[in-house]
């Protein structure tokens, strides 16, 4: 029932293809791709051409996390590039409902994302139609930060709302997840676990196996 979604932001980009193969060989279901625009977040990372290249070499589910202002401008391009899941930030747009519909019309899965200080109440109107809810457990923009403990309340609240209403979305957590807080993250109700530095620093395959042994 748990899924690992390693964040490629922390991988060695000179070996991106090899890292993806390691995920595949270890039956990792998702690969998390962090897209930053230097406006919505104070950093710039990777984008459409990298998604296109990855799509050519892998069938792994590309879990795309758009940290960009007005994501409605780029949904079509990411869908065409091969993203399977398109997560956008509710704080970045006034068109959440239309974006979800557009993602679905392009045959992709739609995820809505909240920053640590955004109340889960803000996304209540969309919960019956999204495929995924992404709860940020660090301020978006950089890998390798520490998990903000209060964000687990957002995970708990959304897990509770999901259960009470019978919603189908997967609940994903992103930021600062390590082996030593994974149990707490699971207890809070997270189902899809993003981990960047904890997967790609050191021996990727060994790190994945360690996560998987705790995600049964």
Catalytic residues: 34, 174
Least separation in angstroms between CB 202 and Zn ion? 20
Site residues (CB under 6 A) for ligand DX5, limited to 40-59:
none
For position 34 contacting ligand DX5 by CB under 6 A, the verdict is yes
For position 174 contacting ligand DX5 by CB under 6 A, the verdict is yes
In whole angstroms, what is the distance from residue 76 CA to residue 98 CA? 13
For position 195 contacting ligand DX5 by CB under 6 A, the verdict is yes
In whole angstroms, what is the distance from residue 192 CA to residue 148 CA? 17
With CB cut-offs between 5 and 8 Å by kind, which of Zn ion, ligand DX5, none does residue 5 bind? none
Number of other residues whose CB lies within 10 A of the CB of residue 136: 25
Least separation in angstroms between CB 7 and ligand DX5? 4
The nearer residue to Zn ion, 65 or 186, going by C-beta atoms, is 65
Q: Decide: 30 and 213 in contact? Cβ < 8 Å.
A: no
Q: What is the DSSP letter of 175?
A: S
For position 196 contacting ligand DX5 by CB under 6 A, the verdict is yes
Residue 109, token pair as written in the block: 């899965």
For position 32 contacting ligand DX5 by CB under 6 A, the verdict is yes
Q: What is the DSSP letter of 113?
A: E
Closest CA to 116 of 143, 157, 148, 89: 148
Task: Summarize as ranges the residues that interact with ligand DX5 (CB under 6 A).
Answer: 7, 9-10, 32, 34, 65, 67, 138, 140-145, 174-177, 194-198
């Amino acid at each position: 029932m748990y899924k690992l979604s390693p964040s490629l932001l922390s991988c060695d980009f000179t070996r991106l293809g090899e890292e993806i193969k390691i995920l595949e060989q270890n039956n990792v279901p998702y690969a998390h791709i962090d897209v930053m625009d230097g406006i919505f977040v104070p950093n710039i990372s990777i984008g459409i051409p990298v998604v296109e290249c990855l799509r050519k070499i892998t069938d792994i589910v590309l879990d795309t996390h758009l940290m960009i202002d007005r994501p409605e401008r780029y949904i079509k391009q990411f869908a065409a590039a091969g993203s399977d899941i398109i997560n956008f930030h509710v704080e970045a747009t006034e068109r959440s409902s239309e974006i979800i519909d557009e993602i679905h019309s392009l045959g992709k899965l739609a995820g809505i994302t909240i920053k640590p200080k955004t109340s889960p109440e803000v996304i209540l109107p969309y919960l019956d139609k999204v495929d995924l809810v992404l709860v940020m457990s660090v301020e978006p923009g950089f890998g390798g930060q520490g998990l903000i403990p209060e964000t687990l309340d957002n995970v708990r609240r959304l897990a509770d709302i999901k259960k009470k209403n019978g919603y189908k979305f997967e609940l994903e957590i992103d930021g600062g997840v390590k082996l030593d807080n994974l149990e707490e993250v699971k207890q809070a109700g997270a189902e899809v676990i993003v981990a960047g530095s904890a997967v790609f620093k050191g021996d990727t395959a060994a790190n994945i196996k360690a996560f998987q042994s705790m995600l049964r």
